[in-house]
Structure formats: structure tokens, C-alpha cells
Amino acid sequence: MKILVVEDEVQLADALSEILKRNMYSVDTVYDGIDGLDNALTGVYDGIILDIMLPHMSGIEILKNLRKEKINTPVLLLTARSEVEDKINGLDCGADDYLTKPFVTGELLARVRALTRRRGEVIDDNKMSFNGLELNKSKCSIIYNGNDIKLSLKEYQIMELLIANPKQILPKERIIEKIWGYESNAEYNNIEVYISFLRKKISVISAPVQIKTARGIGYSLE
């Protein structure tokens, strides 16, 4: 899951990013409205945490622009207690939810989970599965028939993306975008290395699941 954080209070923005990363999300953080809009318009995010009062362009303006461009990424607005008008305005403009500052970590994570409900087969917030293979977030592992093997963070993120889009070819570019980000230097063979680790781990626990290569395009979970 890839989240964009747009918040001009640097300490808060960095704290948010840290909390999300510790909970297996990949996160891009920007500190003003223009960068916020630029990033959000790419449409690659699974959710956006958007502050309302931002330099150069308000969160509400960003939201209006996104919805006008038919980008429906779920948005969680961050509001100060005094910004009731903005909150209502934000929901009217297509925000999915809001969170009033200050907030506690547990509430933030619950809101983000609700925001990014996956399309794959979800057992509960901590687990997704495909053909009996379970991806367990709290253990950062895959499990089949009681056998369990740990994944690295990147392996986990790739597996999550595959399970959320089963039986579909995921282009390598999309995997890079989602997991490493646009400005990363991740090379295509990095992905191949992670995919080969994942294949080994899937075979170690004998799960009836395969990551197939679509030559020259990407991968699919079958």
C-alpha cells in the first residue's frame, strides 16, 4: 500500500511517515500544496493524508483538482479543531474521511486501514489470502497450512500488491512505482531478485500459488 502524506508541519509529517512505514506502508511525504497536487495527480497512491492549511495551495483546492481530473484516490483530511467549515467543505468536495488534530496513532492507523480497504480477498485488517496462502501483516510473513515464513519489508510489499491484484499481470513499472517510487533508482533486476526470493519462500511452505513471469511485461499471481 502506498500512501502520500501532504502536511506542512514538518515534525508531524515525518512522524506520520514513520508510523506508516513501521506498519508496512510505503510513504511519500511532501510539505506544501503544489508538491502535494503534483504527486497526487500521478494517481499511483492507495490513499492520501491531506492537511487543509498548506502553503501555496490548500488541501481543499488539491482535493477539488483531483476529483475534477477523475482521480478517485481515497483522501483522509487532517483538520484542526477550529476548521469545522473546512471539514464540511472537504467532505462535500469528495474527501472520504477526516481526522482532527491532535490524534492518537491507533486512530490514525484505523482510519488509514478503512481508507485503503483492499480489493483482494481480505480476511481481516491483518490478513489477506489467495488460494490458501495467507499474508499476515503483524507477523510480516506468508503462511500455508500452518507453515509460516518471514518476509522482508520489500517482499511483503510486493506480495501484498500481487495478492490485491490476483490473476492479473502487474507491469514491472507499476511495481516499481508502488514500492520504490518514481524517483528511485530501483532497476528492473532488483524486482527480479525479490520475486525469486518470494518464489523460493512460497515453495518452502509448499503453497499452491505461483508467481508467473509475463515475459517483457511483469508478473502475475496464479
Instruction: Judge contact between 93 and 63, C-beta under 8 A.
Output: yes
Q: Which is nearer to Ca ion, 8 or 97 (CB)?
A: 8
Estimate the crossing angle of helix 153-164 against helix 188-204, to 10 degrees: 80
Parallel, antiparallel or unpaired: strands 133-136 and 127-130: antiparallel
51 touches Ca ion (CB under 5 A): yes
Residue type, 8: D
Among 19, 41, 44, 53, binds Ca ion (CB under 5 A): 53
Q: Does 24 bind Ca ion (CB under 5 A)?
A: no
Tell me which amino acid residue 29 is: T
Interface size with Ca ion, residues (CB under 5 A): 3
Name which position in 8, 32, 61, 125 contacts Ca ion (CB under 5 A): 8
Nearest residue relative to Ca ion (C-beta): 53
Q: How far is CA 4 from CA 38, 44, 66, 82, 134, in A?
A: 11, 9, 13, 24, 27
Task: Tell me whether residue 6 or residue 209 sits nearer to Ca ion (CB atom).
Answer: 6
Give the range of 24-32, 43-51, 104-112, 173-181 binding Ca ion by CB under 5 A.
Answer: 43-51
What are the residues binding Ca ion (CB under 5 A)? 8, 51, 53
